[in-house]
């Protein structure tokens, strides 16, 4: 199994801040990495695929980078609607696996 480890597990930030979430894979996965945002009581929403490709409709303040084993999601100029929990997910090999999540809330 490929284990995905996210850090931090939670963070608090203010509107217009820039935040970065990291995701580390237990083995090299190329760029087979997606990022999701989840709001309470809702299903996850695909934000970024292939480590850095923004999905249609996702604001350009979201930026994904990385390859191999280390990846990051940066949100520039945080907006109130960005609160929630963020997950990384590898699709290099079955079973696909997710990070444990990073909960972002506002100070």
Partner 1 sequence: QVLLQQSGPGLVKPSQTLSLTCAISGDSVSSQTSGWVWIRQSPSRGLEWLGRAYFRAYWFKDFAYFVDSRMTINADTSKNVFSMELKSVTPEDTAVYFCARDVSAAGYFDFWGQGTRVTVSS
Residues that bind partner 1 (CB under 8 A): 32, 34, 36, 42-46, 49, 55, 87, 89, 91, 94-101
Beta carbon nearer to partner 1, 43 or 60: 43
Q: Give the 3-state secondary structure of 15-79.
A: CCCCEEEEEEECCCCCCCEEEEEECCCCCCEEEEECCCEECCCCCCCEEEEEECCEEEEEECCCC
Q: Using DSSP, state whether 105 is helix, strand or coil.
A: strand
Nearest approach, Cβ of residue 26 and partner 1 (Å): 15
Residue 5 CB, nearest approach to partner 1 (Å): 11
Shortest distance, position 43 Cβ to partner 1, whole Å? 4
- DSSP state at residue 91: -
C-beta closer to partner 1: residue 18 or 39: 39
Give whichever of 9 and 77 is closer to partner 1, judged by the CB atom.
Answer: 9
């Amino acid at each position: 199994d490929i284990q995905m480890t996210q850090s931090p597990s939670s963070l608090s930030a203010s509107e217009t801040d820039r935040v970065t979430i990291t995701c580390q894979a237990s083995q090299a996965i190329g760029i087979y990495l997606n990022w999701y945002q989840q709001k309470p009581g809702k299903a996850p929403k695909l934000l970024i695929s292939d480590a850095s490709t923004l999905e249609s409709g996702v604001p350009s303040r979201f930026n994904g980078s990385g390859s191999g084993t280390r990846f990051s999601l940066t949100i520039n100029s945080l907006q109130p609607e960005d609160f929630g929990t963020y997950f990384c997910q590898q699709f290099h090999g079955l079973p696909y696996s997710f990070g444990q999540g990073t909960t972002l809330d506002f100070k």
